[in-house]
Structure 1
Amino acid sequence: MIMTTQRRYDIDWLRVIAIALLLIYHIAIVFQPWAMFLGFIKSDELMEGLWKPMTLLNVWRIPFLFFVSGMGVYFAIRKRNWKELLLERSRRILLPFLFGVVAIVPIHFLLFQAYYHLPIGYVAHPAHLWFLGNIIVYVLLLTPVFFYLKKSEKGAFRKKLDAWMGNPLGPLSISLLVVLEVILVRPQVFEMYALTWHGFFIGLMAFFCGFLLVYSGGSFWKTVLNWRWAYLGLALGMYLTRWMVYDLVAPGYLMAIESTTWIMAIFGFGYKYLNKPSAILSYLTQAAYPVYILHMVALNTAASLVLPLDWPVLVKFLAIIGATGLFCFFIFEFLIRRILFIRPLFGLSLQSNPDSKLISGPANSQLS
């Protein structure tokens, strides 16, 4: 039986990879014709072909991070009461969220306005930090449910849930909740998660289901491990159908099912190949959350410097990726990581603790 209390390096790796893909995804937006509508600096030379792989990622990347965040709460409440949980989440999520709205978001808005010679102004806005705001609300809403389930861990519900997750249809049944959300909310664009009711409710379901998946026991992990190829084949088949038949814009209920199959396949392959410790992983796990908070400032800075250059568009794309990564690395390594009073503003503990348990640590508990 796969234990759910052991350290899970695969979830660490998947989360780090998801943040890296987020950076690349946002950089790819710079080269799309609609970039300015989302508040991104836009390249005059476009790479619209990037949109096809982008939409493959977009159908699952944000729900996946909500799943991981819900898993984090399960591990957190095993050694905390409800007051300690709310205090810890306030310190590690609410504080960085408020700091980001006051000090980080205005900078990348300023960079955008300066690049286009727009009037300088700012009204408090979560921008890319909307995710953290959602997590705080989810924790407040679901804490009573989580602690009720904690008290009933040996009850019939958990046993039935564990048995159901031992069936290959068990993990996929989560897609029915997402389909229901699509039917009820009727989002104009399935992948439009930020600051929408669709994003709020699909995030709420993913967050709660992430908790339930680790709460259920070891059967879930055994199932996604054994059926990972089937889930991957189904996900890829649905993506190709969406591409070939629907020109990437399939009905919402199909995209809901596709999203879930990708996520379950990712969990399965992650458990198979990534559940290994490393020094690099320890560092990246600590860096991921600050990089998420900071990356839009880095991206707009890099875009402002690179786009005016007389370089081929592919070179510009790669240069912005490299410059964004280096900017984030230097700010994290030489400021955030080393200056004591700055660390909590980016969700880190006052002291670096690379041996902290997976998902209960700062880098795994919030993000997301």
Structure 2
Amino acid sequence: MRKQFIDNLRWMDVLLLIPYHAAQAFNTWGELNYICFAPKRAISSFTVFFSPFFMPLLFLLAGMSTRYALMKRTYGQYIIERIKRLLVPFVFGTLVFCPILSYMGDVNNCAYEGGFFAHYIVFFTKWTDLSGFDGGFSVGQFWFLYFLFIISLASVGIIALSNKMIKNRGKAEKLPFWAICLMVIPLPLLYGVLSVGGKSFAEYLYVFLIGYYVLSYDKVIEKAEKYRYTSLAIGLAASAANVYMFIWSGKDYEAINLIAKSFAEWFMILALIGIGKNRLDDKNSVSEYMSQRSFPYFSLHFLWIVLFQYWFADIFSGNTVLLFLVPVICAFAATLLCSEICLRIPALCFLMGTKSKRLK
């Protein structure tokens, strides 16, 4: 039986990408962005609050979904499905959308004066930090797809090997909740391991495998549901501490900050799994609509938020609230409209890793 709360948590998480990426333009820690505005601690707090857990949650959900997928597919079929759903949209997005974002970064941050099409040469020949903020080659938000693709392939090997070596599987179902909580311990040690562009393969592989080996079992999900408010309380407290230390304290609490970040990541994930199971484990017209559009939404959202921030930069230069909210609202509308169009073009659906919608 399909677990609807996984799909619902996934599209809700993806929906956060527009305000999250919009808020990065106001960051207070000096990081470049395609568009940069005056630093604002309140808006930066939004980014820092969600950053520990909202992308790891997607990897954990992918790990859970992998167990259910492998119940119906062979390893080969699973890999082919991953190529279609992850590798194809990664290549398409990197070649089509990222050059536009990189061009915007070069214009805004490096005073690039050449034409858009001439900038393609810059995009494919300038290699720096892969962010694209300086006009160089970038994979943009599509880092998530290549991370997940590589992790999926690595996990298939791990799963196949463990299935041969371990005969008594399913012991995770018997884990007490306190033991599940202790799975937070390795996280601070993994953040800097196999890091690319500030993102850790080791962290996301760990979370993915926990999704597969632990949280995909019904009895474990039931424990997460039972203790969802305990997890939420710990997660919110850790998230608030993380925001305070990183944004508002004015001091360097690096080690403690790292621990707060890991607690925010793990306990917010447990809380969201529990709340999702309790409140979101059903299917309705809204969830069906958003689930079908989550893939094109993911591919398109960043382009629109950057364009609207660029267009409204001068108009709302004196009003931070409007400078944040208006591009976000417009980007939501434009992204959903373009997603709707893409769903009606089979070729674009294939290139964005989703299924086409048949017109009635």
Using structure 1 for the length normalisation, give the TM-score: 0.82
Does 2:177 match 1:168? yes
Residue deviations 1:8-48 (CA, integer Å, cap 9, x gap): 2222221112112222111011223557x4332012x4432
For 1:326 and 1:245, how far apart are their aligned partners in 2? 35
Q: 2:197 is matched with which residue? A: 195
Q: 1:28 is matched with which residue? A: 23
Q: 1:18 is matched with which residue? A: 13
- Identify the match of residue 278 of structure 1 among 275, 284, 289: 284
Whichever residue aligns with residue 62 of structure 1, its letter is M
Does 2:324 match 1:317? yes
Q: What's the CA shift for 1:245?
A: 6.2
Q: 1:360 is matched with which residue? A: none
Secondary structure (helix, strand or coil) at the match of 2:16 reads helix
- Identify the match of residue 35 of structure 2 among 32, 36, 41: 41
Aligned CA distance change for structure 1 residues 149 and 280 (closer, same or farther; 3 Å): farther
Q: 1:332 is matched with which residue? A: 339
Comparing 7-16 with 85-94, greater Cα deviation is found at 7-16
The equivalences for 1:251-290 within 5 A come to 251-290=257-296
Identity %: 19
Q: 1:303 is matched with which residue? A: 309
Whichever residue aligns with residue 208 of structure 1, its letter is L
Q: What's the CA shift for 1:194?
A: 6.0
Aligned CA distance change for structure 1 residues 60 and 80 (closer, same or farther; 3 Å): same
The equivalences for 1:342-353 within 5 A come to 342-350=348-356
Aligned CA distance change for structure 1 residues 50 and 273 (closer, same or farther; 3 Å): same
Residue deviations 1:258-294 (CA, integer Å, cap 9, x gap): 3101110111111111112111111111111211111
Aligned CA distance change for structure 1 residues 232 and 214 (closer, same or farther; 3 Å): closer
**Retained in 2: the 8 A contact 1:74–1:214?**
no
Aligned CA distance change for structure 1 residues 194 and 62 (closer, same or farther; 3 Å): farther
Q: What's the CA shift for 1:350?
A: 4.7
For 1:126 and 1:186, how far apart are their aligned partners in 2? 20
- Identify the match of residue 7 of structure 1 among 2, 11, 16: 2
**Retained in 1: the 8 A contact 2:102–2:138?**
no
For 1:74 and 1:348, how far apart are their aligned partners in 2? 20
Q: 1:229 is matched with which residue? A: 229
Aligned CA distance change for structure 1 residues 244 and 82 (closer, same or farther; 3 Å): closer
**Retained in 2: the 8 A contact 1:31–1:42?**
yes
For 2:294 and 2:269, how far apart are their aligned partners in 1? 20
**Retained in 1: the 8 A contact 2:193–2:200?**
no
**Retained in 2: the 8 A contact 1:29–1:40?**
no
Unmatched tracts of structure 1, length 5 or more: 1-5, 188-192, 354-368
Q: What's the CA shift for 1:304?
A: 1.3
For 1:174 and 1:107, how far apart are their aligned partners in 2? 40
For 2:112 and 2:29, how far apart are their aligned partners in 1? 18
**Retained in 1: the 8 A contact 2:245–2:257?**
no
Secondary structure (helix, strand or coil) at the match of 2:186 reads helix
Secondary structure (helix, strand or coil) at the match of 1:38 reads coil
The equivalences for 1:130-149 within 5 A come to 130-148=143-161
For 2:344 and 2:292, how far apart are their aligned partners in 1? 12
- Identify the match of residue 84 of structure 1 among 77, 80, 84: 77
Aligned CA distance change for structure 1 residues 106 and 241 (closer, same or farther; 3 Å): closer
For 2:150 and 2:243, how far apart are their aligned partners in 1? 35
Secondary structure (helix, strand or coil) at the match of 1:157 reads coil
Q: 1:95 is matched with which residue? A: 88
Q: What's the CA shift for 1:352?
A: 5.9
Aligned residues: 332
Q: 2:169 is matched with which residue? A: 157
Using structure 2 for the length normalisation, give the TM-score: 0.84
Q: What's the CA shift for 1:214?
A: 4.3
Q: What's the CA shift for 1:297?
A: 0.9
Aligned CA distance change for structure 1 residues 134 and 288 (closer, same or farther; 3 Å): same
Q: 1:178 is matched with which residue? A: 187
Aligned CA distance change for structure 1 residues 136 and 169 (closer, same or farther; 3 Å): same
Q: 2:140 is matched with which residue? A: 127
The equivalences for 1:64-75 within 5 A come to 64-75=57-68
Aligned CA distance change for structure 1 residues 326 and 173 (closer, same or farther; 3 Å): same
Q: 1:362 is matched with which residue? A: none
Q: What's the CA shift for 1:180?
A: 3.6
Q: 1:341 is matched with which residue? A: 347
Does 2:48 match 1:55? yes
Aligned CA distance change for structure 1 residues 237 and 294 (closer, same or farther; 3 Å): same
Unmatched tracts of structure 2, length 5 or more: 114-118, 125-136
Whichever residue aligns with residue 213 of structure 1, its letter is V
- Identify the match of residue 112 of structure 2 among 118, 127, 130: 118
Instruction: Tell me: higher relative CO, structure 1 or 2? Use CA pairs within 8 A at least 6 residues apart.
Output: 1
Secondary structure (helix, strand or coil) at the match of 1:173 reads helix
